[in-house]
Amino acid sequence: MNLLPTTTPETFSLLSIGQRGVGKTVFLAGSYAELHPDNHADNSQQLWFDCQDNDVQANLEKIKNHVARTNLYPPATIKITNFNFSLKTQSPEGVKTVCHFRWWDVPGESCNINNPEFQEMILTSNGCCVFINANSLIQDQDYLRSIEDIYNQVAAIASVVYKYNIKYAFALILTKCDLLELNPATQLKIEQNLQPLITYLDTVKATHQIFYSAIPIVSIKGVSRLMAKGAATPLLWLLSHLHHADNVSSQPDVASNSTQSLSTAEILPAKNHRSILIMSLVGVTLLGAIASLFFAFNRLTLVPQQMPTTEASPNTPPQN
């Protein structure tokens, strides 16, 4: 994982997609707590997240205090909330900033392609965390049908990313794995249920990776807290990919400067470009909504015409 600081730290925007109660806010709070130097008495932590403003710090403290006071997870997010962070690293020269990133914590019901706010977030995002309840995926036979919209939204974004050759990455995060016994049979069933989405992402050459997230509440010296181990891995993977892609894209590329390689999107005014992107997102989603009825039965592979198929990306081993 290459996360060396650059002269001028870039800012990346990360979108979160998932149903209400899937664990998006818990994931963020757990990731922050896991890496923060305050939780490492030996000062061994080499990478961590710092809040960029007092409001973000206050929101995370509220989550921490809620868990400590009630021994319960925080209530579901009721409005779109922005969390702004800096990824810091310890170097021989001292603390340096690798990059900045903003995280949009989006309520499940707001994750809708037809929602103008959601459209705006998609069009200005650099990567996406897709949250799926692993426990429900295994235990609830109706769960696949209930997340058809999530599959369609991801497929729509991936299609637009492919069409306009946008630098983008998807972290597929399976939450609540602490409620499951992650044995080979369980993982096989999870992978089978995810296969239609994975096949589509591979088909459109989307950069993606699967992560297993377990953030139980534990009591330490009588105080309840989120016990996150490996929870921050998806965020670090996303930031590493975007950081690397950004550095590569900043280098001269003769082929990309050829007038023959200019796409329609590049020669249109910004307003028209944005309108075409929105129409593409909505159009793909409407088409996908018809086909998604087959997702629950794992009988359909969405393969767009004239797009080459690539080998599937390797899955990340379970996080304990």
Is 308 a domain residue? Answer: no
Q: How many residues does the chain have?
A: 320
Query: Which pair of tokens denotes residue 61?
Result: 């403290």
pLDDT of 184 above 50: yes
Q: What is the DSSP letter of 2?
A: -
Is 116 a domain residue? Answer: yes
pLDDT at residue number 153: 82
Residue bearing the bigger pLDDT, 190 or 166? 190
If you average pLDDT over each of 91-95, 151-155, 235-239, 286-290, which comes out highest? 235-239
Q: What is the pLDDT of residues 58-114, one digit of tens each?
A: 888 888 899 999 999 988 776 667 788 889 887 777 888 888 898 877 766 776 667
pLDDT at residue number 6: 54
Which of 129-139 are b and which e, b meaning 16 or more Cβ less than 10 Å from the residue's Cβ?
A: bbbbbbebbbe
Q: Report yes or no: 197 and 154 within 8 Å, Cβ to Cβ.
A: yes
**In the chain, pLDDT over 70 holds for what percent of residues?**
67
**In the chain, pLDDT over 90 holds for what percent of residues?**
24
Cα gap 164→162, rounded to integer Å: 6
> Mean pLDDT over residues 54-61, rounded?
83
Is 3 a domain residue? Answer: no
Domain holding 88: CATH number? Answer: 3.40.50.300
pLDDT of 251 above 50: no
pLDDT of 127 above 80: yes
- Kindly provide the residue ranges of all beta strands, DSSP E only, lying in 77-185, ordered along the sequence: 81-91, 94-105, 127-133, 169-175
Confidence label for 235 from pLDDT (cuts 50, 70 and 90):
very high
Predicted TM-score (pTM) of this structure: 0.75
* Domain span including residue 233: 11-249+270-297
Is 304 a domain residue? Answer: no
Is 303 a domain residue? Answer: no
Q: Phi, psi (5° rounding) for residue 226? A: -80, 125
Total number of domains constituting the chain: 1
- What is the 3-state composition of the chain as percent helix, strand, coil, each rounded to the nearest 5? 45, 20, 35
Is 244 a domain residue? Answer: yes
pLDDT of 248 above 50: no
Q: Which range among 106-110, 122-126, 156-160, 219-223 shows the weakest confidence by mean pLDDT?
A: 106-110
Is 6 a domain residue? Answer: no
Is 124 a domain residue? Answer: yes
